[in-house]
């Protein structure tokens, strides 16, 4: 006889209580909790560089940019994720201190352990967010930024930027920046 292995199921409310008390970050997917791995120097530097660029650009606009410690709640998918960056311009997101629900822009910095998930199931889940206009993947092994933009017909169009382009554009927040600024102080020698 095959015995099913019992796994713990957590409600979103239980997850939020556990996460408040935890020193490690966990993502929540349909009742299950997954510990998150630490990030590399390149990963943290890239996310920090883009955060600073967007924070300065959005100052005074009513939009807020959050870095990796802010949870994103996807109600229709029954999950919480920690994107590397998210931008929200919705007043309703100021009503919740520990998570946001209405992002306009989500950015993930790719790593070996998360790239397939960021490109696959996570992107699929993010597409359920009606307010999401742009999903950005930033490569941490070479200078490449991939911007997926939602069109009026709900299709997602990809535009890729590399170091040869010099600049990149985030249409959702009306921002144009230099590729080199995202990768400032990033060392690719150990890739």
pLDDT in tens, 121-137: 999 999 999 999 999 99
Q: E-assigned strands of the chain?
A: 26-29, 32-35, 64-67, 71-74, 79-81, 85-88, 99-100, 103-109, 134-138, 144-150, 156-162, 167-170, 175-178
Q: Which residue has the higher pLDDT, 37 or 28?
A: 28
Q: Give the pLDDT score at 7.
A: 61
Confirm whether 166 is domain-assigned. Answer: yes
Strand partners, 35: 26
Instruction: List Cβ neighbours of 164 (8 Å cut-off, separation of 6 or more).
Output: none
* The overall pTM is greater than 0.85: yes
Q: Give the pLDDT score at 140.
A: 96
Confirm whether 19 is domain-assigned. Answer: no
Confirm whether 160 is domain-assigned. Answer: yes
pLDDT at 59 over 70: yes
What CATH code is carried by the domain that includes residue 125? 3.90.1570.10
3 state SS of 171: helix
pLDDT at 6 over 50: no
Total of domains in the chain: 1
Confirm whether 6 is domain-assigned. Answer: no
Q: Give the pLDDT score at 21.
A: 87
> Which letter, b or e, does each residue of 12-37 get, where b requires 16 or more Cβ atoms within 10 Å of its Cβ?
beebbeebeeeeeebbbbeeebeeee
Confirm whether 109 is domain-assigned. Answer: yes
Q: Determine the structural domain holding residue 98 and report its residue range.
A: 39-182
Confirm whether 90 is domain-assigned. Answer: yes
The DSSP output letter for 143 is S
Confirm whether 69 is domain-assigned. Answer: yes
């Amino acid at each position: 006889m095959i015995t099913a292995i019992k796994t713990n199921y957590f409600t979103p409310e239980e997850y939020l209580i556990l996460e408040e008390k935890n020193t490690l970050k966990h993502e929540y997917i349909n009742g299950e909790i997954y510990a998150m791995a630490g990030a590399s120097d390149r990963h943290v530097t890239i996310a920090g560089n883009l955060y600073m660029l967007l924070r300065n650009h959005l100052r005074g606009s009513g939009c807020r940019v959050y870095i990796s410690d802010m949870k994103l709640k996807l109600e229709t998918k029954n999950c919480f994720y920690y994107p590397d960056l998210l931008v929200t311009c919705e007043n309703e997101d100021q009503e919740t201190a520990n998570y946001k629900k209405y992002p306009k822009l989500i950015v993930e910095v790719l790593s070996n352990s998360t790239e397939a998930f960021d490109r696959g199931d996570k992107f699929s889940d993010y597409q359920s967010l009606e307010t999401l206009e742009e999903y950005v993947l930033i490569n941490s092994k070479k200078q490449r930024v991939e911007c997926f933009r939602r069109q009026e017909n709900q299709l997602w169009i990809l535009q890729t930027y590399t170091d040869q382009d010099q600049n990149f554009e985030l249409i959702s927040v009306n921002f144009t920046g230099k590729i080199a600024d995202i990768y400032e102080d990033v060392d690719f020698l150990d890739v």
